[in-house]
Amino acid sequence: MESKIELTSMEAKPVLSVRVATTIEDLPALINDSYRRIADYMAELGESPVGAPFAAYHRQDAQSLDIELGVPVSGNLPGRDDIKAGETASGDAVVYMHEGPYTDLKPVYQKLFDWIGENGCTPKGLYYEYYFNSPGDVPEKNLVTRIVIPVEK
């Protein structure tokens, strides 16, 4: 799959999500647990996701992550406990579809941030990764991740 960097306009979408602080080592188990709890809650509501699950990064450094794990939903659904109702960012964003292992994302982000600077944009707010499949479903080389970085032009 060949992909290119695109500048697009995004509309806010309603979501249900769980925000967590964690380490990179604990992230895989936390992702699975969070998505499972959201799916169980949505089943209780008689709802299904309307798009790929995502991770929104509030802070990402070598020692700790502040991350929001969620799914797009059909409308404004109520939250419960640590499952919160919210919405994704709106406005201009740089978007890239990546096929391959998650471990290959660091150079992709560098390429995206270089493109943003070269094209007179400034990153703003959270950035998102949407996961169209998972390591349990396909080989790592076939993982598909959509990266969305909101920007100001």
pLDDT in tens, 88-117: 999 999 999 999 999 999 999 999 999 999
- This model's pTM is above 0.75: yes
In angstroms, rounded to a whole number, what is the distance separating the alpha carbons of residues 35 and 47? 14
Q: Does the pLDDT of residue 62 top 70, yes or no? A: no
Fold of 6-152: Multidrug-efflux Transporter 1 Regulator Bmrr; Chain A (3.20.80)
Vertex 26: Cα angle to 25 and 29 (nearest 5): 125
Helices (H), 2-150: 27-45, 105-118
How many of the other CB atoms lie within 10 Å of CB of 147? 20
pLDDT in tens, 36-57: 999 999 999 999 999 999 999 9
Higher pLDDT, 117 or 60: 117
| Whole-number Cα distances in Å, 10 to 40, 93, 143 | 28, 7, 23
Higher pLDDT, 148 or 27: 148
Mean pLDDT of 128-140: 94
Q: Does the pLDDT of residue 11 top 80, yes or no? A: yes
